[in-house]
Amino acid sequence: MVISGGLHGGQYQPLSQEQISQIHKATLEVLSNTGVEISNKTAQELLANAGARVEKERNRVYLPAELVEKSIGSAPSEVLLAGREEKNDLLLRGKRVYLGTGGTALNVLDLNNTRRPSTLEDCRNTAKLVDALDNIHFFVLPVYPNELPKEEVDVNRFYSAMQNTTKHIMGGVYTIEGIRKVIKIAEKIAGGPDKLRERPFISMITCIMSPLKFDDTYTELMLEVARQGIPLATPPCPMAGATGPVTLAGTLVQQNAEALAGIVLTQQVNPGTPVLYSAVPTTVDIRTMDFLFGSVEMGLLNAAISQVAQFYNLPIYSTSGVTDSKIPDVQAGYEKATTALLCALAGSNYVHDCAGLIERGMTVSFAQYVIDNEINGMVMRAVRGIDVNTESLAVDVINKVGPAGNYIAEQHTLKYMRSEFFLPQVSDRQTYHRWKEQGEKDGWHRANEIAEKILANHKPTPIPAEIERQLAEEIPELRL
């Protein structure tokens, strides 16, 4: 059974409405009293014109409550992240849940279980894999092509994905030139600049530094994407205990301040531009200060911050389903499942990093995409919940079968058996003996075999040859 993305979550609510309101008030206090550091002069000017107080000598910008609230109002409460094919469209709003990949990793754990630096070929293969896996709903560019010079990275990362998946593609960007060229390519494929804005099948990520700092380069990139009206995520990554307060509530306040600051700035550049409320709140191992991507607190934080975004009626880009484990093992399984479930059940809209990543996001594993596709399927099944209606209550068939009978060959069973249960592909549910006969394979081996098959056989919908020919001519650094 395929459970489509976009089902409504919200069953899990770690924060009460009163607590959300407390976080909101504390955030406004931080934004107006502490402010954020922004060294970019254009950004300073835009914000000063909008009513922010700017201390130029120390690049500090104080955002008053009215400006924050006005910006929340002008940001769209519904964002379409289209697929190159319509069946893969995501409509982010309310408590609709979609799960997808994240990046940017520098290594790949390949089909031979060898860890090596990632290449452009891995950009292609991860896209192809995700294109074939139903429970991964969108594709955030997951790896960095180590062999390419920096100025060729943006176009080739995006284009390799466009060639291999028709799911929505979002990616981090590295240069202004790169942004412009990627948008040009996407406009060509979409059929023109307007068509791309109507159905944006690409979107971009430009980061905010925690705590409370807008890096100069990233801000340049952020302003460019916002100007262009392409959907944008502006994630900060506060780590509770290191770059965020040790208390989860405190990290939520800071995370909220950073996310709202991103919205305030982009809304001054281009009011109404589709920006996502962006969140990567996580933790450190307080014993060693190691960055963590698989703690249960990360699941809690992302569930809670999703509630905060819902309070503002803003679609959210959040983070879950990652792991600190170095290999696709038991730890990877329980960390991913725990955080993904918490976040998805809170009704988070665009849960990224939720497939393929291991080793705190430093590496992707092909087998792990297949495993995470399965975890995500189970998570989406939980999000779907239990249908209760006259027919599902089954009183008639209970009466028909009666005591000591069974339901195996009943029409009622036949009617619902394919929609009621999630049917895994990786999990082994056979008897011990069958499993033994088939070579005593563990989950990694079974997943790796599936990944191998997909990479060998899957044929993504190609980009029309004529468009590809023109692109090759116009953008010579494109590696086809």
Coil, helix or strand at residue 401:
helix
Q: Which of 2, 388, 409, 456 binds other proteins (CB under 8 A)?
A: 409
Residue number with CB closer to other proteins (418 or 459): 418
Residue number with CB closer to other proteins (114 or 411): 411
Compute and round to an integer the Cα radius of gyration of the chain: 23
401 counts as binding other proteins under rule CB under 8 A? no
Residue number with CB closer to other proteins (150 or 418): 418
- Smallest CA-to-CA distance from 331 within 291, 295, 285 is with 295
Coil, helix or strand at residue 187:
helix
Q: How far is CA 130 from CA 322, 423, 456, 458, in A?
A: 16, 19, 14, 10
Coil, helix or strand at residue 226:
helix
Residue number with CB closer to other proteins (58 or 432): 432
- State in angstroms the smallest separation of the CB of 433 from other proteins: 6
- State in angstroms the smallest separation of the CB of 408 from other proteins: 5
Residue number with CB closer to other proteins (65 or 397): 397
- State in angstroms the smallest separation of the CB of 424 from other proteins: 12
Q: Which of 112, 114, 399, 406 binds other proteins (CB under 8 A)?
A: 406
Q: Count residues binding other proteins (CB under 8 A).
A: 13
- State in angstroms the smallest separation of the CB of 396 from other proteins: 17
- State in angstroms the smallest separation of the CB of 134 from other proteins: 16
Angle at 407 between CA 401 and CA 412, to 5 degrees: 95
Coil, helix or strand at residue 214:
strand
Residue number with CB closer to other proteins (133 or 169): 133
Query: How many Å apart are CA 416 and CA 358, to the nearest integer?
Result: 36
Q: Which of 286, 414, 472, 480 binds other proteins (CB under 8 A)?
A: 414
- Smallest CA-to-CA distance from 136 within 108, 170, 113 is with 170
Task: Give 139's strand partners.
Answer: 169
Burial of 40 (0-12, 13-18, 19+ CB in 10 A): buried
Q: Which of 417, 455, 467, 475 binds other proteins (CB under 8 A)?
A: 417
- State in angstroms the smallest separation of the CB of 426 from other proteins: 14
- Structure letter (DSSP) for residue 324: S
- State in angstroms the smallest separation of the CB of 432 from other proteins: 8
187 counts as binding other proteins under rule CB under 8 A? no
- State in angstroms the smallest separation of the CB of 434 from other proteins: 6
DSSP 423-473: --SSS--S-HHHHHHTT---HHHHHHHHHHHHHHH--PPPPPHHHHHHHHH
Residue number with CB closer to other proteins (42 or 427): 427
Q: Are 44 and 59 in contact (CB under 8 A)?
A: yes
410 counts as binding other proteins under rule CB under 8 A? yes
Tokens of 31: 């934004």
Query: How many Å apart are CA 19 and CA 5, to the nearest integer?
Result: 29
Binding part of the chain for other proteins, among 13-21, 238-246, 258-266, 410-418 by CB under 8 A, reads 410-418
Task: Give 37's strand partners.
Answer: 60, 213
- State in angstroms the smallest separation of the CB of 413 from other proteins: 5
Which parts of 421-460 interact with other proteins (CB under 8 A)?
A: 430-434
Binding stretches for other proteins (CB under 8 A): 406, 408-410, 413-414, 417-418, 430-434
